[in-house]
Structure 1
């Protein structure tokens, strides 16, 4: 039985994932069912992570609450958040029904406190890490037996790409075909240990919120783009097969080509929407130009750019090519914040010539920080709680 007034706590971290085959467009907006499958690389939590503490107590009054980065969030009107909480409570009720001595946590109000170590809503997949951390933390609080794959069905309803952040390594989100969404879930394609050399350099163009939110943008594209149907039906399924084989074979050249092709395809259907959706900027295009020059100089594909629904460039490369790829950017952006973590510090500057001078100047003027990171693992339970034993948020969170 629960101790009267006891605050039950569980804290977890969850990673950001950056898709190489993009999710864009929904076949069911209520259930967050995608128009196509997608595939992502889970990034190291040493660089990017959400930390979430889930608590409940008989002593709590009022509705469930969430504090994100020190600000109270309105979650009662959020259908996505409420869907996650409802599903998790139902699973806890099943645990309580089987074990009469289990505390009735499902009946207690939840107090959730969450903090990101990166800008929210800046095109860095904050909602993916956020909902993955929320679902995993509550699942741990409730001591649920469900696997990460089973929990991905719940996280998906909060944020589509969140289902991929419940696992580490290389993760596919299968679009599924069932109307109830029961087969639209995440699946590990390969663990971190299979291809640990994968690195990512993120060029942060702007920490401002993006102009067109993803949900609204997707609906516009599905409704108006003449290019989107071919992407959903033919192009993405072929690319999924090709990139999954490339990951299994550790074939970076194919991985790089498909990654860049799919990023370009995604932004093409955005531009083909009406009114057109433009996430890329001159700084984004300068980064693309630099990657193309690096690959041309190498005589093969050693770097791959990809852009989500925002201007930030994510550049994938393998660790042995760090100097040839990331070193070029470090040479031109030496004073930009972000090179001082364990991944960035290992990168040696490279004065490779041949970069377009206008592109270099655009990068110098437009990049506010870099994030050096690598492929990483899934959510982790930690004992650094954001809520103290009395139920109060820890100062500074």
Structure 2
């Protein structure tokens, strides 16, 4: 397991004047949720997620050596146009990672980024966006240090992404990623995500995730505020213990192919996440009436058909409907016939498990 000091480079052996890279990085959906964090984006409990395939951010990084090394210098484009309201988040990210990427003030950067999903869809883009940016910066560092091996490259990319957005560390690799120290995963770390180290049962190969866009508006409560409300939460300690237990249980389900256990843990985790929000002080409710309608219809459909379809939720109103690939036709028919009516503008996105960040030639 690597420490923070391992990510501080000693010296660079090469020189680079100018160039560019382009990477895509996907969003991810947590099965066992992380809610609550310590200083420097350290999770209060471990989590595990499916890396998605279609919902991703594509970021091109151009770089050019500059004479004045006194400050960060970058242009930021979103879908080809300047996006000034994104600048503070990038500036904060650069400040956090400068210790680990000491070359940052030596270059002027052009960051050109876009999402494959609508920015206003209510799908969190910070995870995919920060992961894509971290991959690009690591590609530049690899030019400066050509002896870097792949394991270090990906671990440090995940480490850097985490400093931009906690869950971004789970968007670097696929297809199931563990973040946070846990007794069942020897290589697990609070500093970066690691690929699930066990053989996953065929039941979960190409697992499907159809995202129902119930509410595409901005979140009422930012993730940062929500995580902070776990400090002093009356049920925080029990929740952290529950997450550890559920990670052990879902590990067994993923290995054995036990869909029933997978469903009960995944749905319980989603409802627990929202119950922690409802019992914090101040309290808040991010689910909408249509979220609850969808959940009830998923339960009814599963009961009547015995098809192993389930739901999970992020910290918002949208519903991720999870199911095996061999049930795709029947579940999509059910979604179109019964659930689309509860989506904003009838919008939904079909996705599936993916392999993590990819460099674009």
TM-score (norm 2): 0.83
Q: Using the alignment, how far apart are the partners of 2:206 and 2:52 within structure 1?
A: 12
Q: Tell me, yes or no, if structure 1 residue 13 matches structure 2 residue 63.
A: no
The residue aligned with 1:52 is: 59
The residue aligned with 1:211 is: 220
Instruction: Give, in angstroms, the shift of residue 76 of structure 1.
Output: 7.7
Instruction: Give, in angstroms, the shift of residue 275 of structure 1.
Output: 1.7
Q: 2:73 touches 2:105 (CA, 8 Å); kept in 1?
A: no
Q: Using the alignment, how far apart are the partners of 2:181 and 2:191 within structure 1?
A: 5
1:369 to 343, 347, 359: 347
Q: Using the alignment, how far apart are the partners of 1:112 and 1:88 within structure 2?
A: 19
The structure-2 alpha-carbon separation of the partners of 1:128 and 1:191, relative to structure 1 and needing over 3 Å to count, comes to: farther
Report the aligned-residue RMSD: 2.7
5+ long unaligned stretches in structure 1: 94-104, 337-360, 384-397
Q: Using the alignment, how far apart are the partners of 1:242 and 1:203 within structure 2?
A: 27
Q: 1:120 touches 1:126 (CA, 8 Å); kept in 2?
A: yes
Q: Using the alignment, how far apart are the partners of 2:338 and 2:153 within structure 1?
A: 45
The residue aligned with 1:127 is: 126
Q: 1:203 touches 1:367 (CA, 8 Å); kept in 2?
A: no
Q: 1:192 touches 1:377 (CA, 8 Å); kept in 2?
A: no
Q: Tell me, yes or no, if structure 1 residue 174 matches structure 2 residue 189.
A: no
The residue aligned with 1:63 is: 72
Q: Tell me, yes or no, if structure 1 residue 266 matches structure 2 residue 273.
A: yes
Instruction: Give, in angstroms, the shift of residue 326 of structure 1.
Output: 2.6
Instruction: Give, in angstroms, the shift of residue 222 of structure 1.
Output: 2.6
Q: Tell me, yes or no, if structure 1 residue 378 matches structure 2 residue 356.
A: yes
Instruction: Give, in angstroms, the shift of residue 367 of structure 1.
Output: 5.3
Q: Using the alignment, how far apart are the partners of 2:177 and 2:168 within structure 1?
A: 11
The structure-2 alpha-carbon separation of the partners of 1:81 and 1:281, relative to structure 1 and needing over 3 Å to count, comes to: farther
Q: 1:60 touches 1:109 (CA, 8 Å); kept in 2?
A: no
Q: What is the total number of aligned residue pairs between the two structures?
A: 329
Q: Deviations over 1:232-287 (max 9, x none)?
A: 1x211000001112112222221111000001111111000112121100111111
Q: Deviations over 1:275-328 (max 9, x none)?
A: 2121100111111011101111134x6111111111000011001112332320
The residue aligned with 2:238 is: 230
Aligned partner of residue 48 in structure 1, secondary structure:
strand
5+ long unaligned stretches in structure 2: 1-13
Q: Using the alignment, how far apart are the partners of 1:254 and 1:277 within structure 2?
A: 29
Q: Tell me, yes or no, if structure 1 residue 325 matches structure 2 residue 331.
A: yes
Q: Which runs of 4+ in 1 moved over 3 A?
A: 59-63, 75-78, 119-123, 190-195
Q: Deviations over 1:115-140 (max 9, x none)?
A: 11223475423111011000001111
1:1-397 → structure 2 map (5 Å cutoff): 7-28=18-39, 31-44=40-53, 47-58=54-65, 63-65=72-74, 66-69=76-79, 70=81, 71-72=83-84, 73-75=86-88, 78-84=91-97, 86-90=98-102, 107-120=106-119, 123-143=122-142, 145=148, 146-175=152-181, 183-189=190-196, 195-223=204-232, 225-232=233-240, 234-299=241-306, 302-332=308-338, 363=342, 366=344, 368-383=346-361
Q: Using the alignment, how far apart are the partners of 1:199 and 1:150 within structure 2?
A: 29
The structure-2 alpha-carbon separation of the partners of 1:165 and 1:192, relative to structure 1 and needing over 3 Å to count, comes to: farther
Greater Rg by CA = 1
Instruction: Give, in angstroms, the shift of residue 176 of structure 1.
Output: 7.3
The structure-2 alpha-carbon separation of the partners of 1:121 and 1:32, relative to structure 1 and needing over 3 Å to count, comes to: farther
Q: 1:34 touches 1:175 (CA, 8 Å); kept in 2?
A: no
Q: 2:23 touches 2:357 (CA, 8 Å); kept in 1?
A: yes
